[in-house]
Structure 1
Amino acid sequence: MTFRVFMKSLRLAVRTGKRFSLFVIIYSILIGITSIILNDILKGGGEVWLAFFFVGIMAVVALVYGLILSSYRKLQVATLRCLGWTSANIKWFFIGELLLVCVVAAIIDLEIIIHYLGIGYYIGINPPILDATPFLITVFVVIGVQFLGVFVAWRRMLKVRPMEALRKA
């Protein structure tokens, strides 16, 4: 049941279109910038506060996305509660959508890095923009921060009563 709910949330996330694309672009930019800053820190010359600043921005974006997501999905969640969905099912519903945004943004950043390195090696210049370690650390931090957005959206959706769906119809 959980896997089916997770897959349904992935399909609904892609269907939203503009909102999904906007947050993928935002997360892609934040992952790229934070990875470069973290790479500089690990090489010995970067500002630690700057990395924390961008992680804070990611947390704010995660909260905003969780609030937007919960307000758009209110009627759908009320309908699903009428059909007997539990709070755990609703939690997986939000986890799927928020994680899909993070994974797609990470894949876009990875693609950009691979092309950058390929062009650099082809031309003969090979200053890697960043190593794999800072990129992976940043992706896991973003996924961890996303759970803050999941928690906010999930807590708001637990307050939705099934009768709200019936009143709207």
Structure 2
Amino acid sequence: MDKILDIHHSWGALSSRKRIQESAGNNELQIIWQQELPNKDFSKAVYMMDEWLTRADANGGNYQLAKPTSAVDMCIDKSGEILHKGKTVWDGAWNNKTDGECTKLMPFYQGSRNVAGDDIAGDVFFCTLIPVHQAISAGFYGENNMSPYQNELEKIFSKGVCDYSQPDRARPANL
């Protein structure tokens, strides 16, 4: 869980990135900027996006050619100074790489589905269910001994819990 519980969860950036990579084959048109709190000045990001979109409009909509040199992944300190930037700064467990410099400083947390075993993309429409007792036996809960809570979990999840190792049961074929 992120330290500040609001709609601006850090793992959403990685979820988007993973979906874009799976769809487009790369993430050249998505950048991640994160700043230490308090992050009150968004003007650099707004100016960069304005430059990018204006240049793309002038280039017939070619966003790749219009991309400003400042449009790179980065992490920023409280005063607005760039700490680290580049293609690998947000690497980490999500893409099976060593943590990048920004990930080390500003780690990405997970949502409940990720903790339960879902991929960071979080794009499962309808998961395959498994009975709680089987999930406990299979080690779905990692180092947490959930046996004392089995009855309570079975009441809450009477139809079972998601087994994210199984295929999506409702994903449209055209996606």
Query: Per the shorter chain, which TM-score range?
Result: under 0.3
**Bigger CA radius of gyration:** 2
Question: Which structure shows the higher helix fraction?
Answer: 1
Greater strand content: 2
**What TM-score do you get using the length of structure 2 for normalisation?**
0.24
Higher relative contact order (CA 8 A, sep 6+): 1
